Amino acid sequence: MKLLTILALFAVSLSALAEKRSITLVNYETDGVKQWLPGTIIVKKGDDVEITLINNVPSGVHGFMIPDFGVEKQVKKGVKEVVTFKADKDGLFNMKCQLHPAHVGGQLLVLP
Ligand SMILES: [Cu+2]
């Protein structure tokens, strides 16, 4: 009985861990290579994710896309943009700039 109570409390505390995650990504250019940093972000399944995007690259507009979560945004230099989504599936997903194939991509890791 004691064990069941402990397990129940553990389950409740686990479900309470699903929460809002606020993350900021900044687009940098170094020696002609453009990249959203940090290049890998980690959330938990069930989280409500909010990503603030700051583009510091002088060449202008860059994109930010996470195809598996329907996220797509264009970001002008000097204009913050915010995207939100529910991390409703776990796994490893690509993040990329949909405007420039050469723009270095990143990864989103959603923990189960
Ligand atoms: Cu780009």
Question: Per the domain annotation, does 10 fall within a domain?
Answer: no
pLDDT number for residue 8: 55
What is the 61 CA–ligand 1 centroid distance (Å)?
7
Tell me the whole-structure pTM to 2 decimals: 0.83
CATH number at residue 70: 2.60.40.420
| Domains in the chain, number | 1
What is the 38 CA–ligand 1 centroid distance (Å)?
15
Q: What is the pLDDT of residues 48-105, one digit of tens each?
A: 999 999 999 988 899 999 999 999 999 999 999 999 999 999 999 999 999 999 999 9
Question: Per the domain annotation, does 60 fall within a domain?
Answer: yes
Identify the domain containing residue 45 by its residue range: 19-111
Q: Is the distance from CB of 52 to CB of 80 less than 8 angstroms? A: yes
What is the 73 CA–ligand 1 centroid distance (Å)?
11
Distance CA 112, CA 108 (A): 13
Neighbours of ion ligand 1 (CB under 5 A): 62, 97, 99-100, 103
Beta strands per DSSP E along the chain:
20-30, 33-37, 40-44, 48-55, 62-66, 71-75, 81-86, 91-95, 106-111
